Amino acid sequence: MYWIEKGGILMYFIAGMSILGTTVIIERFFYFILSERNRFDDIRDKFQKYLEENDIKGAIEFLGNSKSASGRVVKDVLAIWAKTKTANITTLEEKARESALSEISHLEKNMWVLSMVAHVTPLLGLLGTVTGMIKAFQAVAIHGTGDAAVLAEGISEALFTTAGGLFVAIPAMIIYNYYNKKIDNTINDMEKASTEVINYFRR
């Protein structure tokens, strides 16, 4: 509260952005922990054993218990094959693409909000800097330079908002880039896994 009081009204907006960013960070953290614990490399050996034994149903059940987008995409492809036994490669590729797009939408959920927090908050801090300096110079114009406290109040507000904006934006930017890298790796893993299973049915 001390920072908000000293930083002026813009600190309320910065605090709001902080709460928004923290909410997204926590939500995404639990999503990745609960739904993206495995990479396809972690389950490939067991999965291939099911394929070698031609146990498609067992493979689908195994993938259904995996915590990875790659596993869910491959499971959807196998489900199409298990239903028809005659699905052509084009149909399997289309299903893989459809399932991957659905997974990507889950992976990227609310990431735009975190990006907005990382980019807008420093601008709010900069705006606070400008308004604080304006107040400082207005105070000098009215009261002169004799009272340093009058000048210091506006400068203090400017510095508090600048620091507040950076304090929120820096961790938001770091975590945003970390999550983005994780999403990119997951998408690459999905593409690799779906290509592998479709190539298996090409034989």
Q: What is the tens place of the pLDDT at every residue in 78-137? A: 888 877 766 678 888 888 899 999 999 999 999 999 999 999 999 998 888 888 777 767
Cα–Cα separations (whole angstroms), residue 192 to 69, 186, 195:
12, 10, 5
Phi and psi at residue 175, to the nearest 5° = -70, -35
Residue 169 to residue 45: CA distance in whole angstroms:
42
Model-level pTM?
A: 0.82
Amino acid at 134: I
Q: What mean pLDDT, rounded, does the chain reach? A: 83
Cα–Cα separations (whole angstroms), residue 72 to 34, 54, 60, 125, 203:
14, 19, 9, 43, 23
For the ranges 7-16, 100-109, 147-156, the lowest mean pLDDT is seen at 147-156
Domain positions in the chain: 2-202
State yes or no: pLDDT of 6 exceeds 70. Answer: no
Strands (E) located in the chain: none
State yes or no: pLDDT of 11 exceeds 60. Answer: yes
